[in-house]
Structure 1
């Protein structure tokens, strides 16, 4: 194997562009491993651990872009680097223009004076300042950056509320405002349901289910995952709800959150008034008291179902034939296969799975624990759900929504465990996601099925209007021997049904 490192000095590209470059690098012939990253200390440490020469990296700084490739030959490595550069720089005219055609927010506004929203995607230490600049310019802000302190988040959101503006984030990867998709987003039909979400893939799941079941979506407002936490206190959730309740194109608001602070959730839903509100608050206590006009659910599926029913549409069938398919899968499982493994690309879907599986199976361990005593390494015989989009898994590699290969090693590893009955995969479609995830994951799932391994249960999040097309993706996974479900929640229930050999669990009410 040959390694190659190319450094672009003082060349910043944001994380989305880095991921596009990494995906192109890894798709090049003879490439075993590759990445395009900023040369932060953590990223340099990852490159050294992968065997790249420290001398090549010694002078690199966090302002430098590093393209690193390990391939079968020097020629293949060089060709891959060229491919990666084209993927990142072609639209910008070359690496010398990688900082984008303008160098400040003021320059950008002079070129596009009608702009009303800024997307901030810079290293976390600079993100709050850039967001403040955008607010000063009279813009709403989608703060894509992470590693922003809670103190900065609170200050930004208080200032935005005083100015009558939105600060979506930090770590807000999904939004749709005025039919414009931002970040990782799905193509949904216009409608009267607005989604407000302290959750990324939670927003996508809620919006796509509402779309699939006929209600249509007016807006998707991402809040950042901490908004309904105790410290941030629902600051932007309240502002977003106020704005959407006043919006003539919105007739119902679907509020979504990762496990929230219960007291904050109470305050936010009590403040909502004037239009019907459904709150899908993952994992809230079953006795959570909802005020009049607000419906509260503990899962995304239940929230989306409540929203479409409130719009006068029929309750959708979320488990057509699922119990029968689970029964067939049980017949093929060896008696020692009793464990569930969830390998998720979406953090919110991982949380939802933890709640559902814990209700049915008891303790489920995760790298994103709901309780302090749940964490890795898990004890022998434990059920485990992993959020593979967390930094510990994406260090030096693309997010699994962008590059399905990031999950393949773990998928094969878990499939080889004779105690595993079911492996749950979420496959997220839409803008920013891999153009054909079934082409990468499907053959591996088929290998597992042919070898008599555990059942691979797949949920495809998306719409038919998405570039990948949901039905084509679903068919490909079904043809590979996977059990394909209608919602993410049903995938978890199907897994629990396999583990306990009880097909009726797949149709359990939520």
Structure 2
């Protein structure tokens, strides 16, 4: 196999675009491996680990674009390069709308005076600088970039707070502003429920459940995952609560987050008394007593959060399909599993989805391992090998260093899925398939060959393998949700109706002899 290296000096593309292009580049015929990335130290580290880092690549600057092609035997790397370069042209050609390009935020603002929001996705080394420029131009900011220091984040959020602006992020992956999804998001009905989320897929999950229950979303404001840390102190969530409380189109506010720092949780809950509107609080693993004492509406799960929110808007519970657990199905699956098939393996693209499903399993089983476990005794020491019940957040930095996020390219979990499927002690494999703006164009299709292969292997070994799939999306999303679900059902996958039900079904399927 031969390797071709191309360095394009001073050629910048944002990380989302490059992850998408890199994914498509690796699907080109005769490609063994293709890496399309900016020449950051992190990306050079990935090349070093793959034994692909040359002196030429080592000397490339942060603003240089690297294209590294390793073709299969007999491949024409020059032809492969031509096809990769065509991917850039295809992306830039876009649709029929007019697209202007500006060299700086200042020039863009001067030409589009009415603009009031900047979405920033640049290398982390420059992200704080660009976000500050946007705030100084009186622009709200959604900062998709990660690898921004927590000190920079604090300074940016303090500046935004003083100026009365929203500073969403860094590492903010989801927002819906005036019914427009930004970065990752789902097509949901416009309505009167405002969501503030320190977690991307958790916010998406609440938004689609609200849509499913007949409600609608006024605004979805992301805060970034560290906002509720001790250092940041919940600045963005507190500011967003005040903004939505004044918003005439918002009737109910929902807060969603992974477990926050305790002192910050208390600060956020104390702010509920300043709100004139009902506030539903879903902090995964949170304390009901604290929320109720603060005057909020406690939700243990994302499904419960969405339900309480829509009921508070006046929708009647009898008019909602609550998707109750299918106990006959649970008993049927239990009967199919052999005594040794006692473990769940969760392989998730969404971090909060993984967290919620894991916490629901922890209510029933003590031996729950993960790469994101808060209990260090249950944190996986070797990410390549699962222990008993294991839940993996495949979008965590542990798995995405130098690779596309699985919401953009879910094929990264195929090998791990087949590994788990071969384990005779595994009874259930649970997975999410995330639809919507920014996500992979066919997340189910990518996994189907592996699902059929796993089912065939289990049949040959005369055992049942229960594959549980949850499709996060709405009837308005692309790709078509109904078709995605149908493909999974045709492959013998059991469908869950929500993130919450995925956790409940998973834990009940392997509960031997545990009657309802």
* TM-score w.r.t. length of structure 2: 0.91
Per-residue deviation, 1:90? 3.7
Gaps of 5+ in 2: 95-99, 459-463
Match of 1:366 among 366, 370, 389: 370
Task: Describe how 1:385-464 pairs up with structure 2 within 5 A.
Answer: 385-452=391-458, 454-464=465-475
Per-residue deviation, 1:374? 2.8
Q: Residues 194 and 250 of structure 2 are in contact (CA less than 8 Å); yes or no, is this contact kept in structure 1?
A: yes
Distance, in Å, in 2 between the alignment partners of 1:50 and 1:193 is: 47
Task: Describe how 1:139-178 pairs up with structure 2 within 5 A.
Answer: 139-178=139-178
Is 1:475 the counterpart of 2:483 in the alignment? no
Is 1:271 the counterpart of 2:271 in the alignment? yes
Distance, in Å, in 2 between the alignment partners of 1:206 and 1:93 is: 34
Which position in structure 1 is the counterpart of 2:311? 309
Distance, in Å, in 1 between the alignment partners of 2:386 and 2:445 is: 33
Q: Residues 327 and 503 of structure 1 are in contact (CA less than 8 Å); yes or no, is this contact kept in structure 2?
A: no
Alpha-carbon spacing, 1:80–1:330, altered in 2? closer, same or farther (3 Å): farther
SS of equivalent residue, structure 1 residue 500: coil
Distance, in Å, in 2 between the alignment partners of 1:121 and 1:330 is: 46
Which position in structure 2 is the counterpart of 1:383? 389
Q: Residues 157 and 235 of structure 2 are in contact (CA less than 8 Å); yes or no, is this contact kept in structure 1?
A: yes
Alpha-carbon spacing, 1:445–1:125, altered in 2? closer, same or farther (3 Å): same
Gaps of 5+ in 1: 95-99, 506-510
Per-residue deviation, 1:393? 0.9
Is 1:340 the counterpart of 2:344 in the alignment? yes
Mean Cα displacement is larger for which, 466-475 or 251-260? 466-475
Alpha-carbon spacing, 1:295–1:137, altered in 2? closer, same or farther (3 Å): same
Distance, in Å, in 1 between the alignment partners of 2:249 and 2:240 is: 14
Which position in structure 1 is the counterpart of 2:301? 299
Distance, in Å, in 2 between the alignment partners of 1:22 and 1:243 is: 39
Which position in structure 2 is the counterpart of 1:97? none
The CA deviation string for residues 9-32 of structure 1, in whole angstroms up to 9 with x for no partner, is 221211111111112112212333
Alpha-carbon spacing, 1:355–1:76, altered in 2? closer, same or farther (3 Å): farther
Mean Cα displacement is larger for which, 34-43 or 311-320? 311-320
Is 1:498 the counterpart of 2:506 in the alignment? no
Q: Residues 20 and 88 of structure 1 are in contact (CA less than 8 Å); yes or no, is this contact kept in structure 2?
A: no
Per-residue deviation, 1:345? 0.7
Alpha-carbon spacing, 1:357–1:49, altered in 2? closer, same or farther (3 Å): same
Is 1:325 the counterpart of 2:336 in the alignment? no
The CA deviation string for residues 365-403 of structure 1, in whole angstroms up to 9 with x for no partner, is 111122333312269753111111112211232111111
Distance, in Å, in 2 between the alignment partners of 1:49 and 1:279 is: 43
SS of equivalent residue, structure 1 residue 206: helix
Per-residue deviation, 1:120? 1.5
Q: Residues 196 and 255 of structure 1 are in contact (CA less than 8 Å); yes or no, is this contact kept in structure 2?
A: yes
Distance, in Å, in 2 between the alignment partners of 1:486 and 1:30 is: 39
Which position in structure 1 is the counterpart of 2:97? none
Q: Residues 191 and 215 of structure 1 are in contact (CA less than 8 Å); yes or no, is this contact kept in structure 2?
A: yes
Alpha-carbon spacing, 1:48–1:151, altered in 2? closer, same or farther (3 Å): closer
Which position in structure 2 is the counterpart of 1:37? 37
Alpha-carbon spacing, 1:388–1:180, altered in 2? closer, same or farther (3 Å): same
Q: Residues 259 and 351 of structure 1 are in contact (CA less than 8 Å); yes or no, is this contact kept in structure 2?
A: no
Distance, in Å, in 1 between the alignment partners of 2:29 and 2:13 is: 24
Alpha-carbon spacing, 1:214–1:76, altered in 2? closer, same or farther (3 Å): farther
Alpha-carbon spacing, 1:192–1:92, altered in 2? closer, same or farther (3 Å): same
Q: Residues 31 and 80 of structure 1 are in contact (CA less than 8 Å); yes or no, is this contact kept in structure 2?
A: yes
Which position in structure 1 is the counterpart of 2:240? 240
Alpha-carbon spacing, 1:262–1:58, altered in 2? closer, same or farther (3 Å): closer
Alpha-carbon spacing, 1:393–1:53, altered in 2? closer, same or farther (3 Å): same
Distance, in Å, in 1 between the alignment partners of 2:499 and 2:34 is: 31
SS of equivalent residue, structure 1 residue 451: helix
CA RMSD of aligned residues (A): 2.2
Q: Residues 31 and 75 of structure 2 are in contact (CA less than 8 Å); yes or no, is this contact kept in structure 1?
A: no
Per-residue deviation, 1:479? 1.3
Q: Residues 70 and 77 of structure 2 are in contact (CA less than 8 Å); yes or no, is this contact kept in structure 1?
A: yes
Distance, in Å, in 1 between the alignment partners of 2:413 and 2:55 is: 31
Per-residue deviation, 1:76? 5.1
